[in-house]
Amino acid sequence: MDTTPESYLDLFPLEAIVYLTPDSENVLEDIDPDKVYVLGGLVDESIHKHLTLRRAREQCLQTARLPIREYMVKAPNSRNYHSETLAINQVFDVLSTYYETRSWPAALRAGVSSGKGYVLPDTAEQ
């Protein structure tokens, strides 16, 4: 991983950038090595719905979301809390594990904590 103070918009062609946001209607099905994935992150105590999606659209970028709904189920919990919004390190863990294993269930198990209210179907009743 490289870090730079420069904007991704200045470093990569727009068509190569995929902005990851939980509000995207597009599901990330595979990682394309020719694409650059931007993890849309906010440093805030509250969730601002669609803020990262709006930012990506303003920049004319492709968007995608992790396939949480496609591979996980809502776990019953006392707070009835379910969130697909992950911290940047969790998204990075999911992507890294998927890249290594090519398995979304393994990747989501690695990055989505049970506190988010989602579990893999094989663990839903445990």
Report the CATH number that the domain containing residue 56 is assigned in CATH. 3.40.1280.30
pLDDT digits (tens, 9 = 90+) for 65-92: 999 999 999 988 878 888 888 888 999 9
Query: Do the domain assignments include residue 125?
Result: no
Query: Do the domain assignments include residue 102?
Result: yes
Note the pLDDT of residue 45: 46
43-64 average pLDDT score: 82
Query: Do the domain assignments include residue 17?
Result: yes
Q: CA–CA separation, 95 vs 21, rounded Å? A: 13
The structure's pTM equals: 0.86
Distances (CA, A) of 97 to 88, 92, 110: 14, 8, 7
Residue 101 has pLDDT above 60, yes or no: yes
Note the pLDDT of residue 124: 55
Query: Do the domain assignments include residue 87?
Result: yes
Task: Please pick, among 10, 34, 44, 122, the residue that the annotation labels catalytic.
Answer: 44
Total domains in the fold of the chain: 1
Query: Do the domain assignments include residue 2?
Result: no
pLDDT digits (tens, 9 = 90+) for 5-42: 999 999 999 999 999 999 999 999 999 999 999 986 65
Query: Do the domain assignments include residue 37?
Result: yes
Q: By residue range, what is the domain housing residue 46?
A: 8-119
Query: Do the domain assignments include residue 51?
Result: yes
Based on the residue annotation, tell me whether 44 is a catalytic residue of this protein.
Answer: yes
Nearest CA to 40 among 8, 4, 2? Answer: 8
96-114 average pLDDT score: 95
